[in-house]
Copies of this chain bind each other. A is one copy, B any other.
């Protein structure tokens, strides 16, 4: 069976060499006589995998020494609750910058636990840009400022981070982690679901500056408490051992190919192929304000629903899957994470050109 080009927003493509390695050792891991799925999370054989995954991830991200890195269940969405439960315990006010669907959902969830101030929002413009940071209204004594570094549904990304002074910056980097250089030291907390650039679904990786631990609300569930998880190497209960193993394989693959700088260069080249085509097209149009264009999620529309539908069908026929846009935006979306090869982009624009010719 030939593999397709999968433009899914997540779960999403994993490099075939990574999948081949996982498949080859799924029944027996090395000389251990058992699958990684069967290993006790407390065993030395699994702890070796855990420690390798942790070290590789820290190396690729350049995580400073004064940060803990946690492997947590529940995905980024559980962290929408975990952020206020772990940090909104001082002034009980937090600032949120509303740059898209997930930023909005995170703010809605935080309202359960304190006062949420929307410091800036591009909601009224259907999120076609990152909100203007210069006019943002920050709360001086906020417990944190929350941003979503890349907006999966709308195809935008931050090109500069807000300067929050002594207020910790919290970032959800689910859809651009490991795809471009991110200065972790600018964040108090930064996290990402694994299912886009790091492996399968079912885990989030979270980095937290150590001085921000110890502030959790007494009502915070134990599993959700970063301080307890940090003290227990993310194993207050059985972690998602397979996802930890897959993060190790993906990080090994990334490191062998030059790490984040190499992927950043590759991702810029990949995105350019599609944006260049879109900028020259008379049929397809990218609705995002240019400077905020995401490298990971490219949205485009024809302005005609019937044509959008016909184009999605043509893509599927050509082995280009999951190109349909999110219902909030309509049209199409190509999610082109680290594991999407440049050939996928070349084939996509070839199909776009053919469709445009046939529908001129």
Question: Which residues of A approach B to under 8 Å, CB–CB?
Answer: 1-4, 6, 8-14, 16, 19-20, 22-24, 26-28, 30-35, 37-41, 43, 73-78, 80-82, 85, 109, 112-113, 193, 195, 199-203, 218-219, 221-224, 236-243, 246, 319, 321-322
C-alpha spacing A141/B327, complex, angstroms: 46
Counting chain B CB atoms within 10 Å of each CB, the highest count among A8, A31, A76, A218 belongs to A8
Q: In the assembled complex, how far is the CB of residue A200 from the closest CB belonging to chain B, in whole angstroms?
A: 4
Task: Verify A239–B27 contact, CB threshold 8 A.
Answer: no
- Point out the residue from B3, B23, B239, B241 that lies within 8 Å of A34, measured CB to CB: B3
- What are 22 contact pairs spanning A and B, CB under 8 A? A1-B32, A3-B34, A4-B34, A6-B34, A11-B37, A11-B39, A12-B40, A19-B35, A23-B23, A33-B319, A37-B200, A37-B201, A37-B246, A73-B73, A73-B202, A74-B223, A81-B224, A112-B219, A200-B240, A200-B241, A200-B242, A242-B243
Asked if residues A219 and B221 are in contact (CB atoms below 8 Å), the reply is no
Q: Which residues of B contact A195 (CB under 8 A)?
A: 238
CA distance A238 to B11 in the complex (A): 8
User: In the complex, what's the smallest C-beta–C-beta distance from A37 to chain B, in angstroms?
Assistant: 4
Residue of B with least CB distance to A13:
B38
| A243 surroundings in chain B (CB, below 8 A) | 202, 240, 242
B33 x A1 contact (CB < 8 A): yes
Contacts A3-B33, A112-B218, A202-B202 given; 11 further ones with Cβ under 8 A?
A: A6-B33, A9-B40, A11-B38, A19-B26, A74-B223, A77-B222, A78-B221, A80-B222, A200-B241, A201-B242, A242-B242
Rounded to whole angstroms, the CA-CA distance of A341 and B142 in the bound complex is 58
A222 in contact with B81 (CB, 8 Å): yes
- A40-B221 in contact (CB<8A): no
Contacts of A80 on B, CB cut-off 8 Å? 221-222
A201 to chain B, nearest CB (A): 4
Closest to A40 in B: B8
Q: Which of B1, B203, B222, B241 contacts A109 (CB under 8 A)?
A: B222
Contacts of A221 in B (CB 8 A): 78, 80-82, 85, 109, 112, 221, 224
Q: Are A113 and B219 in contact (CB under 8 A)?
A: yes
> Smallest CB-CB separation from A339: which chain B residue?
B38
Q: How far is the CB of A228 from chain B (nearest CB, A)?
A: 11
Q: Is the CB of B14 within 8 A of A23?
A: no
Residue of B nearest to A45 (CB): B321
Which of chain B's residues have a CB closer than 8 A to the CB of A73? 73-75, 78, 202, 240
Which residues of B lie under 8 Å from residue A240 when comparing CB positions? 73, 200-202, 240, 243
Give chain B residues whose Cβ lies under 8 Å from the Cβ of A3: 27-28, 33-34
Assess whether A237 is in contact with B75, with CB atoms less than 8 Å apart: yes
Give the CA-CA distance A105 to B43 in the complex, in Å: 22
Q: Is B37 touching A14 in the complex (CB atoms < 8 A)?
A: yes
Whether A239 lies near B113 (C-beta < 8 A) is no
- CA separation between A221 and B199, bound complex, in Å? 25
Rounded to whole angstroms, the CA-CA distance of A202 and B322 in the bound complex is 26
The complex places the Cα of A85 from the Cα of B223 at a distance, in Å, of 14
B321, A33: Cβ atoms closer than 8 Å? yes
Interface centre among A85, A195, A201, A236 (most CB of B within 10 A): A201
